[in-house]
Structure 1
Amino acid sequence: MRKIFIWIVTLTVSITVFLIYNHKQPPTEEDVFKFTEKWSSATEEVYLVRKIDGDWLTILRNWDSIMMGRLEQNWLGNWELRNDGGLESTLISTYFPPIEDDEFTWSASGSKERNRSYYFGQIINPIIKRIEVETKKGFFEDALIVNSVGAQFFFVKSDYEMLMPVNIRALSETGELIYSTIKPIKNNELNSTH
């Protein structure tokens, strides 16, 4: 009876130490590859695994998409990709490879229930040094720009419902407008409509 008790205590302590150790490990690129290996489109490249604004985020690519996802630990301490609803999914994705004349690729997604929107893309034109996203009427938020493995990405997480039409502006280092998802209205076009 005493041997059984010692065995149970030893097993319990071993499992507890294992779980504590696992929960203290930060995510790695290997965690992303391992978790997504069962997906229909295999992950070909992981550009980033980093803690941003309290969330562990990753940027990964398969043959036709570049995605941004949030990494969360399960009860065993293993890292998984989860969306805002807790489902196995990325937060947002955009197409890959970019079209030759693209200034940047982009995508936006939002949830009315959670009052949250995401804006994400890959910067193609190297002259672009700043991205601004209109997250609420008349208010532009600077996107986080991430450089990784020779690629450049932008990301904004907003606590507002997605504003339509999506207005993303790309600017040079000097602030010159290079591209906008919404065509700016010129004064003479404004006057001709009245």
Structure 2
Amino acid sequence: MMKILIGILILTGSITLFLFYNQKQLPTEEDVFNMTDKWSLRTEEVYFVREIDGDWLTMFRNSHSITVARLEQNWLGNWKVRDEEGYESTLISTSYPPREEDEITWASSGSNGKSLSYYFGQILNPMIYRIEVETKKNVFEDALIFSPQGLRFFFIKSDEDMFLPVNIRAFSEAGELIYSTVK
């Protein structure tokens, strides 16, 4: 009886340590490749995995698009691609490869059931220094700009419903308007 009790305690302790260790692991690029391995379009490159505004986000590319996805850890400590509602879904993507004549590529998406929207794109014109998006009538937010692997992208997560028409403006370092989706 004592051997069974000791065995149960050792097994319980081992499982607890395993789960505790897994819960402390941060997501990696390898996790993204593993999560998307069975998708119809295979992930070719992971640009980053990082925490932004309290969410773990990743940006990756396949043969047709560049995608931003939210990562969530399950109770076993494994990382999964999940949207804000908990479904296996990405947040937003833009076309790849971009056309050379474009200033930027961009996409916007909203969330069902929540006041939430995303704006994302690739900055192609090297003169663009700042991007702002109209997230409410006459309210513009500066986009987060990041440069993984020598490419430039912008991203905004807004706690508002998507404001239409989508108004994205790009400015030079001197503040000159270079590009606008609304004329």
Counterparts of 2:58 and 2:181 in 1: how far apart (Å)?
Answer: 25
Counterparts of 2:80 and 2:142 in 1: how far apart (Å)?
Answer: 28
Q: Note the alpha carbon deviations across 1:126-152, whole angstroms, 9 max, x for none.
A: 111110000000011000001101111
**Compared CA separation, residues 112 and 75, structure 1 to 2 (3 A):** closer
Counterparts of 1:127 and 1:121 in 2: how far apart (Å)?
Answer: 16
1:111 Cα deviation from its structure 2 partner: 2.5
The answer to whether residue 13 in structure 2 is matched with residue 13 in structure 1 is yes
1:23 Cα deviation from its structure 2 partner: 0.6
1:112 Cα deviation from its structure 2 partner: 5.3
Mark the runs of 5 or more structure 2 residues left unpaired by the alignment: none
Of 84-93 and 1-10, deviating more is: 1-10
1:74 Cα deviation from its structure 2 partner: 0.7
8 Å contact kept, 1:117–1:161:
yes
Counterparts of 1:111 and 1:69 in 2: how far apart (Å)?
Answer: 13
Counterparts of 1:111 and 1:98 in 2: how far apart (Å)?
Answer: 25
Which residues of 2 match residues 170-181 of structure 1 at below 5 A? 170-181=170-181
Counterparts of 2:42 and 2:112 in 1: how far apart (Å)?
Answer: 31
Counterparts of 2:13 and 2:22 in 1: how far apart (Å)?
Answer: 14
Counterparts of 2:43 and 2:13 in 1: how far apart (Å)?
Answer: 36
Q: Which residue of 2 aligns with 1:156?
A: 156
State the SS of the aligned residue for 1:83: coil
Q: Which residue of 2 aligns with 1:69?
A: 69
Q: Which residue of 2 aligns with 1:32?
A: 32
8 Å contact kept, 1:112–1:161:
no
Q: Which residue of 2 aligns with 1:41?
A: 41
Q: Note the alpha carbon deviations across 1:90-146, whole angstroms, 9 max, x for none.
A: 101111000110111100011352100100011111111110000000011000001
Q: Which residue of 2 aligns with 1:189?
A: none
Q: Which residue of 2 aligns with 1:166?
A: 166
8 Å contact kept, 1:92–1:109:
yes
Counterparts of 1:48 and 1:171 in 2: how far apart (Å)?
Answer: 25
TM-score, normalised via structure 2 length: 0.97
Alpha-carbon RMSD = 0.9
Which residues of 2 match residues 27-176 of structure 1 at below 5 A? 27-111=27-111, 113-176=113-176
Counterparts of 1:112 and 1:162 in 2: how far apart (Å)?
Answer: 11
State the SS of the aligned residue for 2:103: coil
Of 108-117 and 25-34, deviating more is: 108-117
Larger Rg: 1
TM-score, normalised via structure 1 length: 0.92
**Which stretches of structure 1, 4 residues or more, deviate above 3 A after TM superposition?**
none
8 Å contact kept, 1:102–1:124:
yes
Counterparts of 2:28 and 2:72 in 1: how far apart (Å)?
Answer: 12
**Compared CA separation, residues 34 and 112, structure 1 to 2 (3 A):** closer
- What count of residue pairs does the alignment treat as equivalent? 183
